[in-house]
Amino acid sequence: MGSFNEGPASEGGLDSPAEGSRAGAMTPPARPVRQLLAASVGNAVEWYDWYTYTFLATYIAAQIFPMGAANSLVPLLSTFAVFAVGFFMRPVGGLLMGAVADRRGRRAALTVTILLMGGSSLLVGLTPTYAAAGILAPVVLVLARLLQGLSVGGEFAASTTFLVESAGPGRRGLFSSFQYVSTTIGQLVASGVAAVLVANLAPATMGSWGWRVPFVLGALLSLVGFWVRRGARETLPQALDSVRAGETPVEKQAKASRPGLFEALRRHPRESLLICGITAGGTLAYYTWTSYLPTYAELNAGVGKADALLAGTLSLTFFALLQPLAGILSDRIGRKPLLLTFGIGFAALIVPLLRSLDDSFVTLLLVQCAGMILLSGFTAVSAAVNAETFPARVRAAGIGFPYSLTVALFGGTAPYVGTLFKDMGHAGLFPVYVAVLCLVSSAVYFRLPETAHGPLER
């Protein structure tokens, strides 16, 4: 945060002493609504593509990983593709695309990530079946999933930085909240498109080619996101200076002083660990409540699958509406009160909330919405808190790698840890696990300096 980033100008990445003298508040670019749309529309498309794969995984498996295939590599590749590849590549994407954002500019990274996601989505949609191409089919699908993970990891690093740097004074929390507004919209659209296709196409049609339609649609939507982002204004001061100078010694000096790939980790190890601590409890709670809770309710409370899916959809809509309200609140009272309310509240209430589940749809919906209110204390402000932790020079890469690594370790494993506890006959230990990690993050929140009302470091 601000107190962690003090130091000489050479470490801050400023191009000259004159530049160092004006370090401090970043001047947000004009057209804030266009900036907000550029980040949000693209992010929604990214997550639409990501979640579409999840919703249609059973159809993909039937075509690409047939049961009883003679080649033993097929089931192995299937397991690897579905459960590991995407999350494995997210930290790599956070590091690489974060470095692009810090070296070439936020807009450059945002255009790369959305084109990468669009291309990988199209690749999924055009993947040949195992019957037609043999082992090549799962190999192509794994490659597409690798690219999707790379894109999603890079998207968070670039869009988080871009959103917060685009905000005017006193609006960083509001702009930050749109990170999860757009993520949730992408998830809801993916779910809706999949549901419409399943409801209107015969099972045989859905299995043969219907499942490919959402991926081709995602590729087309990526072009829309690309067009919106191309019209956005750059927010990285060094990139703006280089563009204005053209091919001059100033540009050459700017290129020479661009940060290295691991500079954020090397020069800011404390801040990198801080991102991990901020994220751990929040990402576990997020994936538990938005992805695993319907399954948990089915396995442990006897809730019907249709009721669980409907409750999940309604609660996600409620969650998206909460984000801007929580973001605005954080701009007024600060980030720490919301983070502590989330961390301590979730730790204290998750066990009674989950124990209160029964086979009632209404009970599940109320429990999910109650958790969403607490969770908003983390999701609405996490982008702002992360961005306020690093100086502009290494902000994207500094956020991208530790955040995505923590998500992979704790958020991505939430459904599997919960299922593992259930299989071991100790389902009640899972909410305790979530509570403990939320308490760990709360200890980090308690020690954070408040940065909501200060300038964003240049």
**What is the tens place of the pLDDT at every residue in 157-203?**
899 999 999 988 889 999 999 999 999 999 999 989 988 998 899 98
Distance CA 381, CA 196 (A): 33
The mean pLDDT of 146-156, rounded to a whole number, is 89
- Measured in degrees and rounded to the nearest 5, phi and psi for residue 25 equal -70, 135
| Topology alike, domains 27-265 and 269-389+413-449 | yes
Please count the residues of the chain.
Answer: 458
Q: Note the pLDDT tens digit of each residue in 318-374.
A: 999 999 999 999 999 999 999 999 999 999 999 999 989 998 999 999 999 999 999
User: Checking phi first, is residue 170 left (phi over 0); if not, alpha (psi -120 to 50) or beta?
Assistant: left
Is residue 154 predicted with pLDDT exceeding 80? yes
Taking 3-state DSSP, the helix, strand and coil percentages for the chain, each rounded to the nearest 5, stand at 80, 0, 20
**In 3-state terms, what secondary structure has residue 166?**
helix
pLDDT of residue 180: 93
Is residue 15 predicted with pLDDT exceeding 60? no
**In 3-state terms, what secondary structure has residue 457?**
strand
The mean pLDDT of 393-417, rounded to a whole number, is 87
Q: pTM of the full predicted structure? A: 0.82
According to CATH, the superfamily of the domain at 269-389+413-449 is MFS general substrate transporter like domains (1.20.1250.20)
Distance CA 286, CA 1 (A): 23
Number of separate helices (H) and strands (E) present in the chain? 24, 0
Cβ neighbour number for residue 72 with a 10 Å cutoff: 8
Q: What is the CATH number of domain 27-265?
A: 1.20.1250.20
Among 371, 382, 364, residue whose Cα is nearest residue 347: 371
Is residue 119 predicted with pLDDT exceeding 90? yes
At residue 193, what is the residue type? V
Q: Are 392 and 79 in contact (CB under 8 A)?
A: no
The mean pLDDT of 282-290, rounded to a whole number, is 91
Is residue 262 predicted with pLDDT exceeding 90? no
Among 104, 123, 111, residue whose Cα is nearest residue 225: 111
Band of pLDDT at residue 412, cut at 50, 70 and 90: confident
Is residue 379 predicted with pLDDT exceeding 80? yes
Among 81, 352, 413, 55, residue whose Cα is nearest residue 218: 55
Distant-in-sequence, close-in-space partners of 182: CB < 8 Å, separation ≥ 6: 39, 40, 41, 43, 44, 47
List the beta bridge partners of residue 457.
25
Distant-in-sequence, close-in-space partners of 344: CB < 8 Å, separation ≥ 6: 438, 439, 442
Q: Are 41 and 224 in contact (CB under 8 A)?
A: yes
DSSP string, 380-404: TTHHHHHHTTS-GGGHHHHHHHHHH
First-last CA distance in the chain: 12
What are the extents of the domains in the chain?
A: 27-265, 269-389+413-449
Band of pLDDT at residue 424, cut at 50, 70 and 90: confident
